[in-house]
Structure 1
């Protein structure tokens, strides 16, 4: 059986709006070796902001 954190680790995406809101997702180390950044909805400020990967 394959290890759960091998090629697709769990990462936390933290809001850049400073609200402390975070999403949890998985990413592929092979396709995205750097830090991930996505525009997602932050319900605290009620708008879409950039979320960056936190380690």
Structure 2
């Protein structure tokens, strides 16, 4: 089964500088800008902003 190019896998890297990443999918057609999510960083032990890597 082929993967759609409209929903690519993206890496989210912590803005706290700890090097923690999350992997998710996003819809490129409805959200072409970089994704930012507030998620838990286990190294910093708090919720921080995670930004999409290119």
Residue number in structure 2 paired with 1:22: 21
TM, length-normalised to structure 1: 0.91
Structural RMSD (CA): 1.1
Residue 47 (str. 1) matches residue 35 (str. 2): no
TM, length-normalised to structure 2: 0.93
CA displacement at 1:5 relative to structure 2: 4.4
Cα distance between partner residues in 2 of 1:26 and 1:5: 11
